[in-house]
Amino acid sequence: MMAAEWAIYPSLKDRVVLVTGGATGIGEALVEAFAHQGARVVFADVQDEAAERLRARLAAAGATEPRYRHCDLTDVSAIGAMVAEVVEELGTVDVLVNNAGNDQRHQVAEVTEEFWDRTMAVNLRHQFFAAQAVLPAMQRAQRGSIINMSSIGWVIPSTSQVVYVTAKAAVVGMTRTLAHEVGKDNIRVNCIMPGAILTERQKRLWLTPEYTATVLGNQALKRMVGPEEVARLALFLAAEDSSGITNQSYVIDAGWV
């Protein structure tokens, strides 16, 4: 739930916001944050039960109830159909947050062609095709904000996830090029690069005492960063408060990089 001291962005009220991978983790925090701003939120995922729990929780909290679309984001045709359905129902997409991803750990010797392609589809390819799909509506409106999710993993550099890190480095390049492609239509494209974020998945899979010690030892702030903090950065980049900002990548990692 939104804390009383957090910012309210009037320009986000009633704006159509599409979040990919919005059922859990950082995506869940994004959906919640935009819903509490009064935005008309649509989130796409394949985790139907988690999505319905999120919708019910936000409705009970008095937030604008988000819409959910089941969508396999590794299927490019499904992305296009989902975006077309959203535009037909709501008239446009004002904000796209390309959040979906999977940081599955892997060793170099284990990587197969199939694993490479799947990892790129989950962490990079859908971001481009979701952006491509929303651009006609944004161009008609002559406004829009696209926010891509990268990672600090390629800067540290991280290990045991070379394909994931490769994809996340590519997101930054895509962001910068796309920003110059669509800037003439008053569409902004920016990127968020989270560090070690304290999601339920991270706690369940990776957050051992040893890993926590490594994270806190490298960060300037000696605490973990929560997904709601990433969401608050996305709110700013989506709102008119950041109307002069594009082509940028913002690190949120408690000072690791």
Q: Tens digit of pLDDT for each residue in 141-176?
A: 999 999 999 999 999 989 999 999 999 999 999 999
Closest CA to 144 of 177, 184, 172, 176: 184
Query: Is 0.85 topped by the overall pTM?
Result: yes
CATH number (domain holding residue 128): 3.40.50.720
Q: How many domains does the chain have?
A: 1
Say if 256 falls within a structural domain.
no
Q: Which domain holds residue 146?
A: 10-251
Whether 242 is in a domain gets the answer: yes
* In a domain? residue 74: yes
pLDDT at 23: 97
In tens digits, what is the pLDDT along the chain, a chain of 257 residues?
A: 566 688 999 999 999 999 999 999 999 999 999 999 999 999 999 999 999 999 999 999 999 999 999 999 999 999 999 999 999 999 999 999 999 999 999 999 999 999 999 999 999 999 999 999 999 999 999 999 999 999 999 999 899 999 999 999 999 999 999 999 999 999 999 999 999 999 988 888 878 999 999 999 999 999 999 999 999 999 999 999 999 999 999 999 999 99
In a domain, 129, yes or no: yes
Q: Which of 9, 68, 164, 250 is catalytic?
A: 164
Let me know the angle formed at the C-alpha of 173 by 75 and 117, rounded to the nearest 5 degrees: 35
Q: Is residue 1 part of a domain?
A: no
Could you tell me if residue 137 is inside a domain?
Answer: yes
Q: Please confirm, yes or no, whether 164 is among the known catalytic residues.
A: yes
